[in-house]
Homo-oligomer: A and B are copies of this chain.
Amino acid sequence: MIGVDWGTSSFRAYRLGADGAVLERREAARGILQVEAGRFSDVLRDAAGDWIAAGNRRVLLSGMVGSRQGWVEAPYVPCPAGLAELAAGLASVPFGDAEVLLVPGLSAADPHGVPEVMRGEETQVLGASTQAGLVCLPGSHSKWARVSGGRIEGFTTHLTGETFAALRGHTILGRMMRDGDGSPVAFDRGVVRAGEADGLLHHLFGVRALGLFGRLADANAADYLSGLLIGHEVRSAMPVGAAVHLIGAAALCARYARAIEICGGRASLDEGEAAARGLAAIGEHASWS
């Protein structure tokens, strides 16, 4: 089987063995924002045509390629959902000499009935090296999933990474920031500050005020802001004392692990390639023709 993790800005293809092992992997700068309408099949053929020609005729795609802006829209499956529900919701994609299926996204509702969506992360969560507890995927839109018995019971999203970029790029806070070597101490200060009174919007002004009074160096202000936002996210999303399993890029997961510790939780890092394992597991449950 061929598995593809096809997101907004990235494309990762895996040739998977019968046991789900990754036999070969390829990456391309062909996230869906880099693909012209109608050219998705060309991209897939460019990246994996030789694998298909060699007899790998089952292709499973996950991620934003299944969104309205992608190749074919695969409707959201409601939580709770595990491998069986995702496999039952696969969307079929017309393609010449291979059978191409698309993993659906997941939807949920928070306790107040506000909707939640994910697309791509469900495959990583179900491919994670633990299958119970709280799983966090940090990023522009960080996801916190509650997993039990191999099923995703529900999840919440936090607009943390995108808010950081907007504040850094387009407010007075960014204008005071200078590139630095990275300050773990400033990051920790931000995480601690997030636990204090008067809310995030007040804490944001504090970034400027600390700078004005010489108590936060311009070179450390971005790390402090990062700690502030991640600290607010972790304190909102994580029950005190919880164990959190992290999936994602190493440097970002290290920041989250540190924030989780400071906020009284325990962090573990996912081992291996969660997306590939998740694609293999969903593929096993799929009804291939």
Contact = CB atoms under 8 A, between A and B. Distances in A.
Interface residues of A, number: 46
A209 B158 contact: no
A112 interface: yes
Majority DSSP secondary structure for residues of A touching B: helix
Interface string A42-70: 00000000000000000000000000000
B157 A202 contact: yes
A209 B171 contact: no
Contacts of A209: 114-117, 157
A110 interface: yes
Given A115-B215, A116-B209, A215-B115, A201 B236 contact: yes
How many copies of this chain sit in the oligomeric assembly? 2
A120 B112 CA distance: 41
B111 A197 contact: yes
Contact of A160 (B167, B201, B206): B201
A112 B193 CA distance: 9
A201 B232 contact: yes
Contacts of A167: 163, 166
Interface of A: 110-112, 114-117, 141, 156-160, 162-163, 165-167, 169-173, 193, 196-202, 204-206, 208-210, 212-213, 215, 229, 232-233, 235-237
